Amino acid sequence: MISKDTIDKVFEASRVEEVIGDFVQLKKSGSNFKGLSPFTDERTPSFMVSPVKQIWKDFSSGKGGNVVAFLMEHEHFTYPEAIKYLARKYNIEVEETEQTDEQKQQADERESMYLVSEFARDYFEDVLWNTEPGKAIGLTYFKERGFTDETIRKFGLGYSPDEWEAFTKEALSKGYQLEFLEKTGLTIVKEDGRGGGSRQFDRFKGRVMFPIQSMSGRVLGFGGRILKSDKKAAKYLNSPETEIYHKSKVLYGIYHARQAIAREDNCFLVEGYTDVIQFHQRGIENVVASSGTALTPEQIRLIHRLTNNITVLFDGDAAGLRASLRGVDLILEQGMNVKVCALPDGEDPDSFARENTLEDIVLFLQEKATDFIRFKASVLMEEAKDDPIRKAETIRDIVNSIGKIPDRIQREVYVQECSRIMDISEEVLFNTLAQIGRKEVAEAGRRQRQQRKETGMEVVREREEPAVQKVDKQYVLERKIIELLLVYGKKTEEFEDYVLKQDDEGELQLEKMVHGCRVFEKVFLDLQEDEVELSNEVFRKVFPRLIENLNGGEDFSVDRFVQELEPDEAREVTSILMDEEKYILHRWEDQDILVKDKSQTVAQLVSETVLNLRCYLIEKRVGELQQQTLEKKDGNPDILEEIMNYHQLKRLLARKLNRVL
C-alpha cells in the first residue's frame, strides 16, 4: 500500500496540463487548454484541460476526471501505478510496503504481463552490464554502433544469453508464472511428443535486446537482433502480438520522443531501432520508428496527438521508395502535414547521424525536407522520363495522393502546385480528382451490392424508430444544484425571499424580503426546510461532503475536493465542472455571438433552480396522491385536502418564479 502522505505529495506536485501534455498536444484556449481526443479518432478538438480546476474532460467519449483518472484511462494503470508514475515524474519518494509473491500472483492478467515484461527488461540489462558474455558480446556491439553508456542505459538496452533457458529459469525462480512468460512471448512452450510433457526455451536466445515502451514508459514487448551469421534465424525478431503489445499501434521511441515532438511541433519518422537511438544521442529527440512494419493509421494517430507535422526520412538508396510513399498517403488521409527527406546515397539515419555533427544534420534536414508533392513528382518523373504514358500514370498517382487530403482548401493548393510542377492545366487535374472521387463512390457501391448478393435475399424487418428518450427533469435540476455549489458555493449574494403572511381577510400572501448569505447556505437551508433529499445516488453522496467542505473554512479547493472522491463520483463532478468549458470550443465570440456571463445572475440562478426542484417534487407528490385515489376508488377527504394544499403551494411557488398557471 502507498502511504497517504505520498499520495498527498503527488497530488500537490502534479499539474494536470503537464502530465496530459506528455500524451496530447495541448493548445491554449482562454484559461484552459484544448486538444484532440486521445480516446477517439477525431479531427477537431473536443478534449479540454482546466489548469485552475486541475481536471480534464473528453467531450467525444464522455470521459473525464483528475490527473490520476487520465493515466488510468489512457495507460490502463491501476490507481497505485498511476501514483507511482507521477511520483517518478515529480521526483517524489514512494513510501509503501514491498509486494509479496502472493500479491504478484493475485495481480490481474494484464498487470502480470506488464510485471513480467519489466522484469525481463531489468534482467537483460543486468546480463549486459554484469556478466562476461553480456559485456563481451552485447556491450561490445552497442559500443561499436557508437552508443554511449548513458544512451544504452536510457533506452534500457540489454542482452539475452546464448542459452536455451537462461531467462526462463531466472524468471521462474523469482516467482513469475510460466503462463505469463508464454503469454508475453518471452518464453516458447512446446509439447514434447516423446514423453507427453512440454519443453520451454527463451525466444530471444543470443540477441541484443531493445525494449519497446508505451507513451508512458511501460514495457510492452521487445525487439531482438541476432549477432551471429545464422542464415536460418531472422536478423531481427519482435515479440508476438499479445494482450499488451500490438505492433500496429506502437512506435519505437515514442516514450523518449513525446515531449520533444510536442515542443518542436514536428516528428521525424524513421524505420529502425538504431536509427532512433542514434538521432536521439546526437541531439534530435523528436524521432520515432515504425519498427520495420508498414506504417498504420493507429501509429499515425499516436503522433497526431502530439503534433500535426511529420517528416519522413528515407534511406539514400531508393529501392523501397514506392512502398514507403504509400505510407505518405496514409499520413495525408489523417489530415496531417507531411514532408519527405531523402538522405544522401548509401546513408541511413543511423550512419548519417553517426558521421555528422548536430548542426550539419539540422541544416541538411531544413534544406532537404521537401513537400510530398515535389518529392513524389521528382521521384516518379525520374522513372517516367520521356514516356508520355508513364508520365500520365505519374500525374494520376500524385492526384490520387491529393485526393486523400480531407481539407478542401489544402487540396486546391496542392492541385495548383502540381499544375505548376507537372506543367498541366489545373482544370484537367480537378477533373481527374473528381473522377477519382466518383470512382471511389462507385467502388464502394459495388462492394455493397456484392455483399448483399453474397448474403442472399434476407427478410428484413422494418426498422423501428428509436424511442425518444425523456429528459429526467429531477436529475437535471439536482445536477444543476451540485454545479452551483461547486462553482459559486462560497460566493455571497443578495437573495430575494418571500415570507408567507396572512392578510386582513385571512388569505396567505407573499411578502418580499432581501438578505445576504453564501450560496451553499442558501441551497442547504432551502432544501432542509422542505426535507428534500437528492434522488441520484452519486449526488446524494457528494452533496453532504460538498456542504461540509464549503462550511469548513475559506480554503475550499475544487481540485482537492475532486481528489478525495471515488472514481464514479469524480467522473460525474468533473463532467459538471467542464460542461461550461465545452461552449468555449464553439468559439461564439468569433461568430459575433455574445454569451451572457452567468456569474452576473448567480442569486437568480440559485433561487430558480431550488424553486424548480421544489415545484417538480410537488408535481410528483400530487401525481402519487392522485394515483392512490384512483386505485382505491374512493375520495379520501384527507388525501383530497393534501392535494389542494399542494396545489396552493405550487401556485405560490409559481408566483415566485413569475409563472402563470
Domain of 172, CATH number, reads 3.90.980.10
342, pLDDT greater than 70: yes
Question: What is the model's pLDDT at position 648?
Answer: 61
596, pLDDT greater than 60: no
299 and 195 belong to one structural domain: no
Q: How far apart are CA 523 and CA 478, in angstroms?
A: 11
140, pLDDT greater than 90: yes
Q: How far apart are CA 60 and CA 45, in angstroms?
A: 9
513 and 628 belong to one structural domain: yes
Name which of 64-78, 196-210, 229-243, 444-458 the model is least confident about: 444-458
282 and 143 belong to one structural domain: no
- The answer to whether position 569 is within a domain reads no
In eight-state DSSP terms, residue 565 is S
Name which of 172-181, 300-309, 642-651 the model is least confident about: 642-651
137, pLDDT greater than 80: yes
483 and 547 belong to one structural domain: yes
Name which of 129-138, 199-208, 472-481, 642-651 the model is least confident about: 642-651
594, pLDDT greater than 50: no
Question: Residues of the chain with pLDDT > 90: what percent?
Answer: 25
Question: What's the CATH number where 78 sits?
Answer: 3.90.580.10
The DSSP annotation for 60-91 comes to: TT--EESHHHHHHHHS---HHHHHHHHHHHTT
290, pLDDT greater than 80: yes
- The answer to whether position 453 is within a domain reads no
Task: Please indicate whether residue 400 or residue 350 has the higher confidence score (pLDDT).
Answer: 350
Question: What is the model's pLDDT at position 660?
Answer: 44
Reduced to 3 states (helix: H, G, I; strand: E, B; else coil), residue 352 is helix
Task: Please indicate whether residue 260 or residue 328 has the higher confidence score (pLDDT).
Answer: 260
408-424 pLDDT per residue, tens = 888 888 888 888 877 78
pTM for the model stands at 0.70
25 and 47 belong to one structural domain: yes
- How many folded domains does the chain comprise? 4
Which residue range is the domain that position 83 belongs to? 4-89
Pairing of strands 337-342, 309-314: parallel
Residue 401 Ramachandran class (φ > 0 left, ψ -120 to 50 alpha, else beta):
alpha
Identify residue 499 by its one-letter amino acid code. Answer: V
14-72 pLDDT per residue, tens = 889 989 988 888 888 878 888 888 888 777 888 889 888 888 888 888 888 888 888 88
For the residues 113-120, what does the mean pLDDT come to? Answer: 94
149 and 179 belong to one structural domain: yes
334 and 481 belong to one structural domain: no
534, pLDDT greater than 80: yes
C-alpha cell at 442: 462507385
For the residues 455-474, what does the mean pLDDT come to? Answer: 59
**Nearest Cα residue to 324 out of 393, 372, 394:** 372
403 and 424 belong to one structural domain: yes
Q: Which helix (H) or strand (E) holds 210?
A: strand 207-213
203 and 275 belong to one structural domain: no
